[in-house]
Amino acid sequence: MSQHVWLMKSEPEEVSVDDVLTMPDQTVAWTGVRNYQARNFMMRDMNKGDTVLFYHSSCAEPGIVGLGVVASHAYPDQTQFDPTSKYFDPKATTDKPRWFHVDVKITQKTRWLGLKELRAQTELSTMRLLAKGNRLSITPVTAEEWSIIKELLKKKK
């Protein structure tokens, strides 16, 4: 079982890195994913212990703001069964859930590493996050990309 690195987007108004740092065990259930490809990454490819780049999206300054780990295997997202949730799915049943999620534990808040700085790195030009039209909330990060990002995070902005 090889270790993977994942970039996981969260809107800070929904859950920010600071919010997670105040939660028990600094861990959050990554609920609300309603894209099959992102769901499949969690169900089929993520492993406990995989590295997570916590990314704030849909905000004034999107960017990487923290590091974490996948803290659980995928399990059914309970919001799909709750008619009062914005993530409710009337086609989902407890016998046949459609949506799954993992728990993510934040291990470190980092300096903000924004899109402009990421795009300035020619070695990251093929990173899925930076692809035109990419809207996935979860994307894999290659070992080479992770190596570059680690070095960028060490630099003071």
**Residue 2 above 70 pLDDT?**
no
DSSP string across 85-141 = STT--TT--SSS---EE-EEEEEEEEEEEEHHHHHT-GGGTT-GGGSTT---SEEEE
Cα 112 from chain centroid? 15
Distances (CA, A) of 60 to 12, 30, 46, 113: 10, 22, 29, 13
**Residue 30 above 70 pLDDT?**
yes
Q: How many domains does the chain have?
A: 1
Tell me what pLDDT residue 133 has.
86
CATH value at residue 43: 3.10.590.10
31, 79 in Cβ contact below 8 A?
Answer: yes
pTM for the whole structure: 0.94
Portion of the chain with pLDDT greater than 90, in percent: 94
Residues spanned by the domain of 117: 5-154
Phi-psi region of 3 (alpha: psi -120 to 50; beta: other; left: phi over 0): beta
* Per-residue confidence band for 156, with pLDDT thresholds at 50, 70 and 90: confident
Tell me what pLDDT residue 117 has.
96
**Average pLDDT for residues 110-119, to the nearest whole number?**
96
pLDDT per position as a tens digit, 73-109: 999 999 999 999 999 999 999 999 999 999 999 999 9
Tell me what pLDDT residue 95 has.
97
Tell me what pLDDT residue 157 has.
67
